[in-house]
Copies of this chain bind each other. A is one copy, B any other.
Amino acid sequence: MARKRLTDAAAAGMLADSALIAHGRGEAFDYLLGEATCDAARNAIRETAAILLSAEKCVISVNGNTVALAGTQLIACAAVLNCPIEVNIYYRTPERMEALLSALNNQRLEATELYPELATEIGLVPILGANPDGRIPNLEGPRANCHSDGILSANAILVPLEDGDRCEALIAMGKNVCVIDLNPLSRTARTASVTIVDELTRCVPILLDDLKHDSVSQDVGWDNDLNLQEVISVMLRVLD
Protein backbone atom coordinates (compact mmCIF):
# COMPACT_ATOMS: atom_id res chain seq x y z
CA MET A 1 0.00 0.00 0.00
CA ALA A 2 2.69 2.49 1.04
CA ARG A 3 4.88 1.25 -1.82
CA LYS A 4 2.07 1.75 -4.33
CA ARG A 5 1.47 5.30 -3.10
CA LEU A 6 5.15 6.09 -3.44
CA THR A 7 5.65 4.59 -6.88
CA ASP A 8 2.53 6.50 -8.03
CA ALA A 9 3.96 9.68 -6.49
CA ALA A 10 7.28 9.07 -8.25
CA ALA A 11 5.41 8.70 -11.55
CA ALA A 12 3.59 11.99 -10.79
CA GLY A 13 6.92 13.83 -10.40
CA MET A 14 6.50 14.39 -6.66
CA LEU A 15 9.67 12.63 -5.55
CA ALA A 16 13.41 12.97 -5.95
CA ASP A 17 15.37 9.96 -7.25
CA SER A 18 16.56 9.08 -3.80
CA ALA A 19 13.07 9.06 -2.25
CA LEU A 20 12.28 5.42 -2.97
CA ILE A 21 15.67 4.35 -1.62
CA ALA A 22 15.05 6.35 1.56
CA HIS A 23 11.69 4.64 1.94
CA GLY A 24 13.34 1.25 1.61
CA ARG A 25 15.79 2.10 4.41
CA GLY A 26 12.80 2.90 6.57
CA GLU A 27 11.16 -0.41 5.68
CA ALA A 28 14.19 -2.32 6.95
CA PHE A 29 14.13 -0.52 10.31
CA ASP A 30 10.37 -1.04 10.52
CA TYR A 31 10.99 -4.72 9.97
CA LEU A 32 13.22 -4.61 13.07
CA LEU A 33 10.34 -3.00 14.95
CA GLY A 34 8.10 -5.91 14.01
CA GLU A 35 6.10 -3.40 11.92
CA ALA A 36 4.29 -2.20 15.03
CA THR A 37 4.15 1.00 17.05
CA CYS A 38 6.21 0.22 20.14
CA ASP A 39 5.52 1.69 23.58
CA ALA A 40 8.41 4.10 23.29
CA ALA A 41 7.05 5.41 19.99
CA ARG A 42 3.61 5.71 21.56
CA ASN A 43 5.13 7.91 24.29
CA ALA A 44 6.97 10.03 21.72
CA ILE A 45 3.71 10.57 19.83
CA ARG A 46 2.02 11.74 23.03
CA GLU A 47 4.90 14.09 23.80
CA THR A 48 4.80 15.48 20.26
CA ALA A 49 1.07 16.15 20.55
CA ALA A 50 1.62 17.95 23.85
CA ILE A 51 4.41 20.11 22.40
CA LEU A 52 2.43 21.05 19.31
CA LEU A 53 -0.75 21.81 21.28
CA SER A 54 1.03 24.01 23.78
CA ALA A 55 3.25 25.88 21.29
CA GLU A 56 2.49 29.52 20.67
CA LYS A 57 3.03 28.92 16.94
CA CYS A 58 3.59 25.62 15.24
CA VAL A 59 3.97 24.28 11.71
CA ILE A 60 4.06 20.94 9.94
CA SER A 61 6.90 20.69 7.42
CA VAL A 62 6.43 18.14 4.62
CA ASN A 63 8.53 16.68 1.82
CA GLY A 64 7.57 14.47 -1.14
CA ASN A 65 7.43 11.13 0.68
CA THR A 66 5.43 12.67 3.51
CA VAL A 67 2.84 14.14 1.17
CA ALA A 68 2.57 10.88 -0.76
CA LEU A 69 2.14 8.76 2.36
CA ALA A 70 0.28 10.90 4.86
CA GLY A 71 -0.60 14.30 3.39
CA THR A 72 -4.33 13.93 4.05
CA GLN A 73 -3.89 12.97 7.70
CA LEU A 74 -1.33 15.72 8.29
CA ILE A 75 -3.73 18.34 6.90
CA ALA A 76 -6.22 17.10 9.51
CA CYS A 77 -3.53 17.48 12.20
CA ALA A 78 -2.84 21.02 10.98
CA ALA A 79 -6.58 21.73 11.12
CA VAL A 80 -6.77 20.69 14.77
CA LEU A 81 -3.66 22.74 15.53
CA ASN A 82 -4.82 25.67 13.46
CA CYS A 83 -1.37 25.79 11.89
CA PRO A 84 0.11 25.79 8.37
CA ILE A 85 1.55 22.94 6.36
CA GLU A 86 4.78 23.99 4.66
CA VAL A 87 6.36 22.13 1.77
CA ASN A 88 10.12 22.04 2.12
CA ILE A 89 12.15 19.82 -0.15
CA TYR A 90 15.81 19.11 -0.61
CA TYR A 91 15.83 18.89 -4.40
CA ARG A 92 13.62 21.84 -5.23
CA THR A 93 12.41 22.25 -8.80
CA PRO A 94 9.37 24.27 -9.91
CA GLU A 95 7.79 21.08 -11.31
CA ARG A 96 8.14 19.13 -8.08
CA MET A 97 6.85 22.04 -5.97
CA GLU A 98 3.84 22.36 -8.26
CA ALA A 99 3.16 18.60 -8.15
CA LEU A 100 3.34 18.64 -4.34
CA LEU A 101 1.18 21.73 -3.84
CA SER A 102 -1.41 20.33 -6.22
CA ALA A 103 -1.37 16.96 -4.42
CA LEU A 104 -1.90 18.74 -1.10
CA ASN A 105 -4.85 20.67 -2.49
CA ASN A 106 -6.46 17.41 -3.58
CA GLN A 107 -5.69 15.91 -0.18
CA ARG A 108 -7.41 18.87 1.48
CA LEU A 109 -10.65 17.82 -0.27
CA GLU A 110 -10.04 14.21 0.73
CA ALA A 111 -9.44 15.30 4.33
CA THR A 112 -12.75 17.23 4.34
CA GLU A 113 -14.57 14.02 3.38
CA LEU A 114 -12.66 11.85 5.83
CA TYR A 115 -12.95 14.26 8.78
CA PRO A 116 -16.24 16.17 8.24
CA GLU A 117 -16.16 17.37 11.86
CA LEU A 118 -12.99 19.33 10.96
CA ALA A 119 -14.23 20.59 7.58
CA THR A 120 -14.13 24.29 8.45
CA GLU A 121 -10.66 24.16 9.98
CA ILE A 122 -9.37 22.00 7.11
CA GLY A 123 -10.56 24.63 4.64
CA LEU A 124 -8.51 27.23 6.51
CA VAL A 125 -5.16 25.38 6.73
CA PRO A 126 -2.56 27.53 4.93
CA ILE A 127 -0.48 25.47 2.53
CA LEU A 128 2.88 27.21 2.26
CA GLY A 129 6.02 26.58 0.24
CA ALA A 130 5.41 28.27 -3.10
CA ASN A 131 6.89 31.67 -2.21
CA PRO A 132 9.41 31.37 0.60
CA ASP A 133 10.46 34.76 1.97
CA GLY A 134 12.92 33.67 4.66
CA ARG A 135 15.88 31.39 5.19
CA ILE A 136 16.90 28.98 7.93
CA PRO A 137 20.26 30.28 9.18
CA ASN A 138 23.40 28.14 8.81
CA LEU A 139 21.97 25.87 6.17
CA GLU A 140 22.99 25.76 2.53
CA GLY A 141 20.90 25.25 -0.55
CA PRO A 142 17.20 25.56 -1.40
CA ARG A 143 16.09 23.51 1.60
CA ALA A 144 16.95 26.58 3.71
CA ASN A 145 14.21 28.57 1.99
CA CYS A 146 11.14 28.93 4.17
CA HIS A 147 8.14 31.11 4.93
CA SER A 148 8.36 33.79 7.58
CA ASP A 149 4.82 32.97 8.71
CA GLY A 150 5.59 29.24 8.67
CA ILE A 151 8.81 27.48 9.61
CA LEU A 152 10.80 30.67 10.29
CA SER A 153 8.58 31.96 13.12
CA ALA A 154 7.25 28.70 14.55
CA ASN A 155 8.25 27.72 18.09
CA ALA A 156 7.48 24.07 17.47
CA ILE A 157 7.75 22.12 14.26
CA LEU A 158 6.69 18.63 13.27
CA VAL A 159 8.95 17.31 10.51
CA PRO A 160 8.36 13.79 9.35
CA LEU A 161 11.36 12.38 7.47
CA GLU A 162 13.81 15.20 8.09
CA ASP A 163 17.45 15.41 7.03
CA GLY A 164 20.16 15.69 9.63
CA ASP A 165 21.56 19.08 8.63
CA ARG A 166 18.19 20.75 8.60
CA CYS A 167 17.24 19.20 11.91
CA GLU A 168 20.40 20.59 13.49
CA ALA A 169 19.78 24.03 11.98
CA LEU A 170 16.21 24.10 13.31
CA ILE A 171 17.34 23.04 16.77
CA ALA A 172 20.01 25.76 16.66
CA MET A 173 17.21 28.26 16.06
CA GLY A 174 15.80 27.27 19.44
CA LYS A 175 12.74 25.47 18.12
CA ASN A 176 11.11 22.41 19.56
CA VAL A 177 11.68 19.95 16.72
CA CYS A 178 9.54 16.79 16.63
CA VAL A 179 10.57 14.30 13.96
CA ILE A 180 9.33 10.98 12.64
CA ASP A 181 12.24 8.75 11.63
CA LEU A 182 12.47 4.96 11.50
CA ASN A 183 16.23 4.93 12.04
CA PRO A 184 16.85 5.49 15.76
CA LEU A 185 20.57 5.93 15.07
CA SER A 186 20.25 8.65 12.44
CA ARG A 187 21.60 12.13 13.08
CA THR A 188 18.06 13.48 12.81
CA ALA A 189 16.79 11.01 15.39
CA ARG A 190 19.62 11.87 17.78
CA THR A 191 19.37 15.63 17.29
CA ALA A 192 15.61 16.21 17.51
CA SER A 193 13.74 17.34 20.63
CA VAL A 194 11.36 14.41 20.26
CA THR A 195 11.86 11.48 17.87
CA ILE A 196 8.94 9.27 16.94
CA VAL A 197 10.55 6.06 15.66
CA ASP A 198 7.58 4.67 13.81
CA GLU A 199 6.19 4.21 10.33
CA LEU A 200 4.54 7.38 9.06
CA THR A 201 1.15 6.02 8.03
CA ARG A 202 0.91 4.13 11.32
CA CYS A 203 1.79 6.95 13.70
CA VAL A 204 0.12 9.97 12.12
CA PRO A 205 -3.45 8.70 12.79
CA ILE A 206 -2.45 8.11 16.43
CA LEU A 207 -1.01 11.62 16.60
CA LEU A 208 -4.20 13.03 15.11
CA ASP A 209 -6.20 11.22 17.74
CA ASP A 210 -4.00 12.60 20.54
CA LEU A 211 -4.31 16.11 19.10
CA LYS A 212 -8.10 15.83 18.90
CA HIS A 213 -8.43 14.69 22.48
CA ASP A 214 -6.15 17.40 23.74
CA SER A 215 -5.74 15.53 27.00
CA VAL A 216 -2.02 15.02 26.79
CA SER A 217 0.34 17.07 28.87
CA GLN A 218 3.97 17.71 28.07
CA ASP A 219 6.49 15.68 30.02
CA VAL A 220 8.78 18.28 31.60
CA GLY A 221 11.48 15.67 31.99
CA TRP A 222 11.30 14.24 28.44
CA ASP A 223 14.51 12.32 27.79
CA ASN A 224 14.78 11.73 24.06
CA ASP A 225 17.97 9.66 24.31
CA LEU A 226 16.32 7.34 26.79
CA ASN A 227 13.31 6.99 24.52
CA LEU A 228 15.60 6.10 21.61
CA GLN A 229 17.34 3.50 23.77
CA GLU A 230 13.97 1.90 24.46
CA VAL A 231 13.25 1.70 20.74
CA ILE A 232 16.66 0.17 20.09
CA SER A 233 15.92 -2.46 22.74
CA VAL A 234 12.86 -3.50 20.74
CA MET A 235 15.01 -3.86 17.62
CA LEU A 236 17.62 -5.85 19.52
CA ARG A 237 14.92 -8.28 20.65
CA VAL A 238 13.87 -8.83 17.02
CA LEU A 239 17.47 -9.52 15.98
CA ASP A 240 18.36 -11.59 19.01
Complex-state Cα separation, A14 to B238, whole angstroms = 34
With both chains docked as a complex, state the minimum distance between the C-beta of A82 and any C-beta of chain B, in angstroms.
Answer: 35
Q: Which residue from chain B places its CB closest to the CB of A24 in the assembled complex?
A: B24
Complex-state Cα separation, A200 to B29, whole angstroms = 20
With both chains docked as a complex, state the minimum distance between the C-beta of A28 and any C-beta of chain B, in angstroms.
Answer: 3
Is residue A236 contacting chain B, with contact meaning CB distance below 8 A? yes
1/0 contact string of A8-48 vs chain B (CB within 8 Å)? 00100000011011111111110100000000000000000
- A27 CB contact (under 8 Å) in B25, B232, B238, B240: B25
Is residue A112 contacting chain B, with contact meaning CB distance below 8 A? no
1/0 contact string of A129-142 vs chain B (CB within 8 Å)? 00000000000000
A interface bracket (residues with beta carbon within 8 Å of B): 20 to 34
Given A239-B232, A239-B235, A239-B236: A6 in contact with B28 (beta carbons within 8 A)? no
Cβ contact within 8 Å between A20 and B28: no
Is residue A3 contacting chain B, with contact meaning CB distance below 8 A? yes
Cβ contact within 8 Å between B232 and A236: no
Q: Which residue from chain B places its CB closest to the CB of A22 in the assembled complex?
A: B24
Complex-state Cα separation, A174 to B26, whole angstroms = 35
Measured between beta carbons, the chain B residues less than 8 angstroms from A17 are: 3, 7, 10, 20
Per the 8 Å Cβ criterion, residues 171-222 of A in contact with B are 183, 185
With both chains docked as a complex, state the minimum distance between the C-beta of A75 and any C-beta of chain B, in angstroms.
Answer: 25
Measured between beta carbons, the chain B residues less than 8 angstroms from A28 are: 24-29, 183
Complex-state Cα separation, A18 to B10, whole angstroms = 11
Complex-state Cα separation, A20 to B16, whole angstroms = 12
Cβ contact within 8 Å between A3 and B25: no
Apart from A24-B27, A185-B238, what 15 extra A-B contacts exist at CB < 8 Å?
A3-B18, A3-B21, A6-B21, A7-B18, A10-B17, A20-B20, A21-B21, A21-B27, A24-B24, A24-B25, A24-B26, A24-B28, A25-B27, A25-B28, A26-B28
The 4 closest A-B pairs by CB, nearest first: A24-B24, A28-B28, A20-B20, A21-B24
